[in-house]
């Protein structure tokens, strides 16, 4: 749950990097909450979808930065069948060490 709330706290942070763990925890919990709201409270689901749109795009851009890709790659999700390419990119391990987008999130000692 902490990953989910950390992403929501940094809802408009498009700079830096997000590791696979941060991205996938947020995405999977977002899908679970979205499905639960869609099934039970359809009106609230629409509001939830709009509210988490910016954090979802921001964490996706930071995830792409982790694999040393531009955040503009997120736009390929608008083209059918290229979503598979984006999914493949999100599954890749991040660049080791520091890259042009900042430090490696795996190197941070909690």
Packed helices 42-51 and 20-40: angle between N→C axes, nearest 10 degrees: 150
Domain boundaries, the chain: 2-100+103-107
Give whole-number Cα distances, 102 to 17, 23, 36, 84, in Å: 7, 17, 36, 26
pLDDT of 84 reads 92
Question: What single DSSP character describes residue 102?
Answer: B
Give the pLDDT band (50/70/90) at residue 57. very high
CA dihedral 18→24→26→27, nearest 10 degrees, is 120
- Greater confidence, 5 or 54? 54
Residue 1 has pLDDT above 70, yes or no: no
Which residues fall within 8 angstroms of residue 52, CB to CB, at 6 or more apart?
8, 30
Q: Work out the percent of the chain whose per-residue pLDDT is above 90.
A: 46
Q: What would the pLDDT profile of 12-38 be if each residue is shown by its tens digit?
A: 788 888 888 889 999 999 999 999 999
Backbone angles phi, psi at 46, to 5 degrees: -65, -40
Say what the pTM is. 0.86
Mean pLDDT for the chain overall? 87
Largest CA distance in the chain: 44
């Amino acid at each position: 749950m902490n990953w989910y709330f950390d992403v929501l706290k940094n809802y408009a942070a498009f700079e830096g990097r997000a590791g696979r763990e941060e991205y996938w925890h947020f995405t999977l919990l977002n899908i679970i909450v979205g499905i639960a709201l869609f099934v039970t409270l359809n009106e609230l689901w629409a509001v939830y979808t709009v509210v988490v749109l910016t954090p979802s795009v921001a964490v996706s851009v930071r995830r792409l930065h982790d694999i040393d890709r531009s955040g503009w790659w997120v736009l390929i999700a608008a083209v059918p069948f290229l979503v598979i390419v984006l999914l493949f990119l999100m599954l890749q391990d991040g660049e080791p060490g520091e890259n042009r987008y900042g430090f490696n999130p795996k190197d941070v000692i909690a």
